[in-house]
Structure 1
Amino acid sequence: MSDHRPHVPTADVRHGDPYGARSREVGDAISELLGDLTGDPSLLSEAELRRRLRIAAELGRRIDAVKATLAAEAAARSRRIDGHGGWAAREGHRNAESLVREICGSNYREAATLVRVGELMATPAGLGSVADGVRDGRIHVDAADGIVRALAPVEAQADMAAFRSAAETLARESESSHADAVTRMAKSVRDTLDRGGVAEREQQLRDKRFLTIGPEIDGMRRLSGLLDPESAAVVVSAVDAVTAPRRGGPRFVDPLQQDRARAIVDDERSHGQLALDSVVEMIRIAGEADPGRVFGTTRPAVRVTIALEDLRAEASGADDGAAHVESSAEPLSAATARRYLCDAGVLPIVFGGRSEILDVGRTERCFTRPQRVALAARDGGCRWPGCDRPPSWTETHHIDPWSSGGRTDLADGILLCRHHHMLLHNNGWSVVRSRGPGEFDLLPPPDVDPLRRVRPMPSRRRHNSGTS
């Protein structure tokens, strides 16, 4: 195996500070630290490649922790109150983030992350467990930043014991989860700690919504805009309903819809063209409709989930709580969910009430529409660990194969996106029942994990009380 050493530059031409012997000394120290991590990766087994990636990742986390500490000190020396006498201003920068970006050669987002996490490590308050995890190299700075941005704004309003407990839980989860998942968890925890602030955060996002249509030089028109979660739920649901067969094909589709699904799959238009043409057609139909027509008879398209106690809270004078739509990780207020109960095209899914009997046993090969609605409420999307595909992008997998006598019952179904559904069937993975109803684990094949250790498949649903 070759002993390739990483290249270290010999001068920093931006600041006229030739590294010389000092640079070579640093480069040799880095090479010694990396040790056997360098070399030709194409010669490594997958197990060894995984091992080296993990070691390199931990080294990176520890180095990022040092960078964050130094970035926070740079921010402390660049306070706005110091005016032009602050370090960043004296170097010609507007703020510390700009200074850190220039020194580290990073982008602004990364520099801002380093400053925020470094300031957390300096004054952790209720997030001490997260700060300790970053300092020890157990938590990635991006995961810590997701926690900080979600929880820091609500720390003053939250019960401190509950806040610290939530932070400790997120810190533990951060050691085995990627930063995107941790950020989603942190937002969910935020909404639990500060239920009264859900409506305010919802309004803040709604205030950012806009749509502009501008001309292009070739005669086309460019659409640009932002959709708040409530608006996005309607638009995404409508587009997904048209383009779904492009993602999953006409497999596992009701026989009555297979011809339509096949036609969409075979359509020569691109996915983007099909989506745009569908939206234009919807607008055209709405514009030509009878002015007296009430658009209240359409079939449900947007699914709103809310705990039963939150739905009923208005009668008792309380008006906090949160609801969710399938297409967004951001919550809606309970008041918005109650308004949705009267809107067209909305199917409320209430947790904590009575369940409809939806099992069909061996009488049906495919899961029915009511079953998919219930599974969407239970699973919240693809249950494969780390996947973020929403319910509209999923197919229903039989835990026990239909060909081997499996039943088409809720307890025997789980939502998987097409990619993971095909991976499971074609590469030897399997789903096994876990601790209780609706809880499953993923069992990898021997070539992925010789010990075949199970991997939890948590639900992405946010309401945990009752059933759908």
Structure 2
Amino acid sequence: MAAVLEDVLQLGEEAAKLAAAPLWPLSDDETGDCLAAAYRLEQAAAALQQRLVRQAETRGLPAAAGARNTAGWLRSRLLLDPGPARELAERAAALARQPAVEQALIEGKLDARQATVIAAAADTVAEGLAELGEPSDDLVQQATNTMVDMAARLPAYQLRRIGERILVHVAPHLAERADELALARQEARAHQARGFTMSTPVAGLVLLSGRLGLEDAAAVQAALHPLCTPAPDDKRSPAQRRADALVDVCRLALRTGELPESGGEPAQVAVTVGFDPLTRALGPATSDTGLRFSAVTARRLACDAKILPVVMGGAGQILDLGRSHRLATGALRRALAIRDGGCAFPDCDRPPRWTDAHHVVGWAEGGATSLENLVLLCRRHHRLIHDPAAGWQVRLGADQRPEFIPPADVDPERRARRNLYHPRL
């Protein structure tokens, strides 16, 4: 067995022993120092990993194993997820082009993320100087050294911003021209690299992942920003507000009538709902795309989506194949907007275009799609009304305007409330 392999195995065993050692004897200062030393050990191991990845590439191990690329080989060899495998392969390649940065990582002057950022900045400087026809070796080295020095104080995300303008520090006379060329290259690459994916559901969540160029990102931010402002007593996190805003923007687009083909309305969905004839209770629902919903969510979708319900018995037989639900569109939708002025929930300020038409008596329970059985609710309050645990109820008052009955923990007397924000005719 090679000495390097023996040393790595021995180091792994020692690290495992340390991971299980009791930590209570450490003083406060020693705890912090030990954490810093453990992090330094992790970064040294990361440098070794990257060198081993390059050695594997040099020997052709990924191709010999039938992998399409190094990241694919790392996924199978180390049982890595796609993202970490790709990051490890890219970091190894970047540091191979910048050996001075790799050496700084080995010496403990950088961590792996800082090293990746500095290597990318050095590549960008070299590319820009070549495009300008300027000698690059000395300036690239100066840029690298400057950023390595800054790494003693700045984390990777701040170094990335420094790297975008590093020539200002080392060659100010070239910085403006190089910056213009770098931005043009960046925009072209960003346009090619743009993309958006939605994962398969896991534990009721779908992971959205994507990349946009700066111009497109600015448009998205401009659309989301007005909807991300927290309302009074808004307990949503900033990330939750952005997620809700994205959904609101998409729902608005569906209603514009300007989307191609089936756009302009919420999508038509076939939902299969389990039904217990003894309790006459609905069970979980499954859409025609394989997404599973609770019965409560299925009822909420029925308020403002074109749904073809398929009610199944215990043996899987079809008990009822309902007709397509008619949406609150056209004159009915306009009448709702005039009557409610927007989301009718007490003092919500969402305008009509950001609302659903909610059935007071659910469509699944025989409620009609009529002005007397509909009320406008924004997505947040629509979800609240459909949540049995929340305890809110909605009805139409004697004047046929919506009013809401709060749960007892909000008002022990459960007095009806109305929206005072939207103007009334």
Q: TM-score range by the shorter chain?
A: 0.3 to 0.5
Provide TM-score, normalisation by structure 2: 0.43
Largest Rg, 1 or 2: 2
- TM-score, scaled relative to structure 1: 0.40
